[in-house]
Amino acid sequence: MIDARGPAEHGIVSLWWLMLVLACAVFLLVCVMIAGGLIRSRHLSPDEPLPEASWGGPFIAIVGVAITGPILVFVFVLSLRVLRADAASTPKSALSVHVTGHDWWWQARYPNGAQTANEIHIPTGQRVRIVLDTVDVIHSFWVPQLGPKTDLIPGKRNSMWIEAASPGRYRGQCAEFCGFQHAHMIFYVIADRPGAFRTWERNEARPLMQPTSAIAKRGEQIFLSTTCAQCHAIRGTPADATVGPDLTHLAGRRTIAAGTLQNDPGDLSDWIRDPQAEKQGALMPSAPLSQTDIDAVVAFLEGLH
Ligand SMILES: [Cu+2]
């Protein structure tokens, strides 16, 4: 997080360094006082009564309240200033991405109808509003290099903004414990140059790419006629469920299952056969399919560009 890659993060990094310096100073002071106490009592034998502390009470009050208090108030006020500056610069008319937290993955929707999961594309060099809500428990959206942490609260809609100065792939992580697979609730913000972003966004809003090979066509049929279609959407087909991630352009993602696996035929096949072996507790059951059928489904899904 101290390697800031966008304007929302700069104020946070300065505050972080200041707090680190203050914390180190307090830590050193405590070390010095412990050392002083040890040296002063070095020559005492165990049965000798402790010497009366000449200014013990006032000393504790001075160090414990008169020094600690102002430090805490000072840092608190500075934090409020950083928060206010951040809120004041929230863009009004920027691109707005609607991110919804699910146990244990992230759904991202764009104004033009594009929808994806766990890999959120944004254009570089501009503020992007992130609107946050959740369908289940509290999660927290955090991309350490791009901006502050914001909670996703049931029944409430929060909003924040991020901006990436240059193209890149920035790791994000759920930052509020949300259950067993909280650690595997990873996501990536992928910052593309504005032109590349618009191409991505337009493509992502298109419905299904019709499969051409025989095996992929068979995979589509299996997908639509078995359990998959009850939880997933592929726009342009009858599958329109929202329990799991939208798969319309799955092939464009590098990872699956919220950063847990790579998006390649091997991992995809393992995932569909037995998600519980890869991400125990994930809200997707094993497929009641033969390996040949799974191979066909994988061929179909890997063609969804
Ligand atoms: Cu979490």
Q: How far is the CA of 138 from the centre of ligand 1 (A)?
A: 7
CB contact set of 95 (below 8 Å; sequence gap of 6+):
110, 111, 122, 123, 126, 128, 129
Q: Is 266 left (phi over 0), alpha (psi -120 to 50) or beta?
A: alpha
pLDDT value of position 225: 95
Instruction: Name the token pair of 157.
Output: 């809609």
Strand ranges (DSSP E) for the chain?
Answer: 96-102, 105-109, 115-117, 119-123, 128-134, 139-142, 150-152, 158-162, 168-174, 186-192, 255-256, 261-262
Q: What is the Å distance from ligand 1's center to 183 Cα?
A: 7
- Residue 89: pLDDT over 90: no
* Sheet with strand 186-192: strands edge to edge: 119-123, 186-192, 168-174, 139-142, 150-152
What is the total count of domains within the chain?
3
- CA of residue 151 to ligand 1 center, whole Å: 10
Does the residue 291 lie in any domain? yes
Average pLDDT value for residue range 148-175: 96
Sequence letter at residue 283: L
With beta carbons less than 8 A apart as the criterion, state whether 267 and 187 touch. no
**Is 119 among the domain residues?**
yes
201 and 101 share a domain? yes
26 and 107 in a single domain? The answer is no
d(CA 106, CA 271): 17
- Classify residue 268: in a domain, yes or no: yes
Answer with the one of 181, 205, 229 that is the final residue of a domain: 205
Tell whether omega for the bond before 104 is within 30 degrees of 0, i.e. cis.
Answer: yes
- Å from CA of 111 to ligand 1 middle: 26
What pLDDT score was predicted for residue 53?
65
Task: Provide the pLDDT confidence category of residue 54 given band limits of 50, 70 and 90.
Answer: low
- Average pLDDT of the segment spanning 169-190: 97
- Among candidate residues 205, 240, 261, the one where a domain is terminated: 205
Q: What is the distance in A from the centroid of ligand 1 to the CA of 97?
A: 20
Domain shared by 103 and 196, yes or no: yes
Do 249 and 163 lie in one domain? The reply is: no
Residues 143 and 231 in one domain: no
Q: Say how many Å lie between the CA of residue 179 and the centre of ligand 1.
A: 7
Structural domain includes residue 46 = no
On whether both 192 and 146 belong to a single domain, the answer is: yes
Q: Determine the structural domain holding residue 243 and report its residue range.
A: 214-301
Average pLDDT over residues 177-195: 97
Indicate if 142 and 228 belong to the same structural domain: no
- Give the confidence band of 138 by pLDDT, cuts at 50, 70, 90: very high
**Nearest of 179, 173, 138 to residue 283 by alpha carbon:** 179
What pLDDT is attached to residue 239? 94
Q: Is residue 128 part of a domain?
A: yes
- 14 with 66, same domain: the answer is yes
> Distance, CA 85 to ligand 1 centroid (Å)?
27
For residue range 263-293, what is the model confidence (pLDDT) as tens digits?
Answer: 999 999 999 999 999 999 999 999 889 999 9
Adjacent-strand bridge partners of 131: 98, 159
Measure 174 CA to ligand 1 centroid, in angstroms.
4
pLDDT over threshold 90, residue 35 = yes
Q: How far is the CA of 236 from the centre of ligand 1 (A)?
A: 32
Q: How many angstroms separate the alpha carbon of residue 133 from the centre of ligand 1?
A: 13
Say if residue 157 is in the same domain as residue 102.
yes
For residue 221, what is the domain's CATH number?
A: 2.60.40.420
Burial status of residue 44 (CB atoms within 10 A of its CB: 0-12, 13-18, 19 or more): exposed
- CA–centroid distance, 79 to ligand 1, in Å, is 24
pLDDT-derived band at 88 (thresholds 50, 70, 90) equals confident
Alpha-carbon gap, residue 94 to 169, rounded angstroms:
21
What pLDDT does residue 67 have? Answer: 84
155 and 177 housed in the same domain: yes
Q: How far, in Å, from the CA of 155 to the mean position of ligand 1?
A: 17
Decide which of 205, 224, 251 is a domain's last residue. Answer: 205
In a domain, 62, yes or no: yes
Q: Mean pLDDT, the chain, as a whole number? A: 93
Q: Is residue 52 included in any domain, yes or no? A: no
Q: In this structure, are 103 and 200 located in the same domain? A: yes
Indicate whether 1 belongs to any domain. no
